[in-house]
Copies of this chain bind each other. A is one copy, B any other.
């Protein structure tokens, strides 16, 4: 069975023509009039936003007109109806996968990005092992946050660039496939994001919503679970903005006909104990083996519950949890990861024997400067240190070193004595070792009294 692609701008525009007076689609406003409308705080109708996005793609709207519109939208706002229409227009700028040969319910998870966030690596296979299909299009690390693709590429041979046909095939055969963004899916999002990135219009919730959802809806999923990170190590620094973002994502996703829910999770400290590509993959494999740090395991289970409930594979969260734990305990989660890796040309011995994963030649302990409790570990500082030692990238074209990273020996709430290691630095060489040690130690805050534990999930949006 070959995968079918819906060439979106054929069938869907016809639908939209039926809903709107013909003149609106045939003769929408000029680019200047579209910009002026948003400049004056007015609302766009669906046809106007489709004209804007398709105009950007076909040259009728120039980059310098789009950025003027983006700034007007940033400052004057985009309401929910507009968000839905903008998401739809961006989605329809490219192909929308249908995955017709996959008969399981299709569900994905999207995280807004954090430090040490390796959840997709264990979550995708586990949820697939419980009977869902997980067609996951993931990203690379940029800035202080890591990327799922970089982590998977710690496995020799693993191919993140698959055709739509092979992607569908891996989803069908393994239940899960994790690949990179292709140029055929939501190309308008790539164009618009590149413009936002250089014009100060990134931090705009409606534009973030349209960007995330247009890409995710192109995967052909039935349901989506969002992990909206909040805190120093996240894109969203405060709870209010993160709440607003997660609610908008859920509402707009639902209006697009998907079952969508969001967990708002803490990103003040890194997730789990590792930051760095091979180290994080190893931690994810540990979870699939029944181990792993408690918070990594728990976050995986929480998101997995949401996913299984969303597609009806479990009636309750506790039923879902039992299924997920079973998939850990019987090894089917790990076997699913190995199968996916094999189908994507990776060497699956790196999954079944994770001690084979590439190791940094230098491992240095970072001694604690004092005795007491660790009250906080600054995720952002450690994310930046990881970039500095080669685990991440400053610019999209930078290479990453899979071997290097940071391994925490203690988490917030833990007790240390002076000289005891706070973390191990996995480095490519001893150059700048002292500076790295110092940078790592300064990410830790201490207190004399035992600090209260932060909850993992701060809020839920359905």
Contacts and interface: CB of A to CB of B under 8 A. Distances in A.
Interface in A70-99: 70-72, 74-76
A68 interface: yes
A75 B198 CA distance: 19
Interface in A54-77: 62-72, 74-76
A200 interface: yes
Contacts of A75: 39, 71-72, 75-76
Interface stretch (A28-36, A120-128, A427-435): A28-36
Contacts of A198: 31-32, 62, 64-65
Interface in A1-57: 31-33, 35-36, 39
Contact of A71 (B32, B62, B63, B72): B72
Contact of A200 (B35, B62, B66, B195): B35
A286 to B, nearest CB: 40
Interface string A395-408: 00000000000000
A201 interface: yes
A101 interface: no
Q: Dominant SS at the A interface? A: helix
A352 interface: no
A318 interface: no
A199 B31 CA distance: 8
Contacts of A68: 67-68, 70-71, 199-201
Given A64-B66, A65-B67, A74 B200 contact: no
Interface residues of A, number: 25
A219 to B, nearest CB: 29
B64 A32 contact: no
B65 A199 contact: yes
Contacts of A195: 64
A75 B122 CA distance: 47
Contacts of A63: 63-64
B65 A32 contact: no
A140 to B, nearest CB: 21
Contacts of A69: 71
Contacts of A36: 200
Nearest to A201: B68
Nearest to A70: B68
Contacts of A32: 198-200
Given A63-B63, A64-B64, A64-B66, A71 B39 contact: yes
A201 B71 CA distance: 12
A32 to B, nearest CB: 5
* Most chain B CB neighbours (cut-off 10 Å) among A39, A65, A67, A75: A67
A165 B63 CA distance: 40
Q: Which 4 A-B pairs have the closest CB atoms?
A: A68-B199, A36-B200, A71-B71, A35-B200
